[in-house]
Amino acid sequence: MSASALGRRAWLAGTAAGLVAPRARAFGDEGVFHPRMLLTGTTRLEGPRSRATARWAEDLRRQTSAPSRSSPGTVRADASSLLAEPFAVWAGDGPLAPLTSRELEGLRKFLLIGGILFVDDAAPEAGAFGRDARRELLRVLPEAAVTKLPEKHVVYHSFYLLARPVGRVEGPDHLDSITLGGTAQVLFSSHDVLGALARERDGVPAFRVEPGGDRQRELATRLAVNIAMYVLCSNYKDDQVHAPMLMKRQRGAK
Who has greater pLDDT, 16 or 238? 238
Residue 167 pLDDT: 98
Q: How far apart are CA 197 and CA 220, in angstroms?
A: 7
Which is nearest to 83 in space by CA: 48, 110, 103, 63?
Answer: 110
Query: With bands split at pLDDT 50, 70 and 90, how would you rate the model's confidence at 31?
Result: low
pLDDT the model gives residue 89: 98
Q: Is the pTM of this model over 0.95?
A: no
User: Which comes out higher in pLDDT, residue 43 or 162?
Assistant: 162
Confidence of residue 46 (pLDDT cuts 50, 70, 90): confident
Q: Are 115 and 186 in contact (CB under 8 A)?
A: no
Give the residue-averaged pLDDT of 15-43: 60
**Confidence check: pLDDT of 27 > 70:** no
- Per-residue confidence band for 240, with pLDDT thresholds at 50, 70 and 90: very low
Asked if residues 197 and 56 have their Cβ atoms less than 8 Å apart, the reply is: yes
Domains, the chain: 3-253 (3.40.50.12140)
Beta-carbon contacts of residue 39 (< 8 Å; ≥ 6 apart) = 74, 75, 76, 77
Average model confidence (pLDDT) across the chain: 84
pLDDT digit string (tens) for 123-148? 999 999 999 999 999 999 999 999 99
Q: pLDDT: is 233 or 81 the higher one?
A: 81
Query: Which of residues 237 and 37 earns the better pLDDT score?
Result: 37
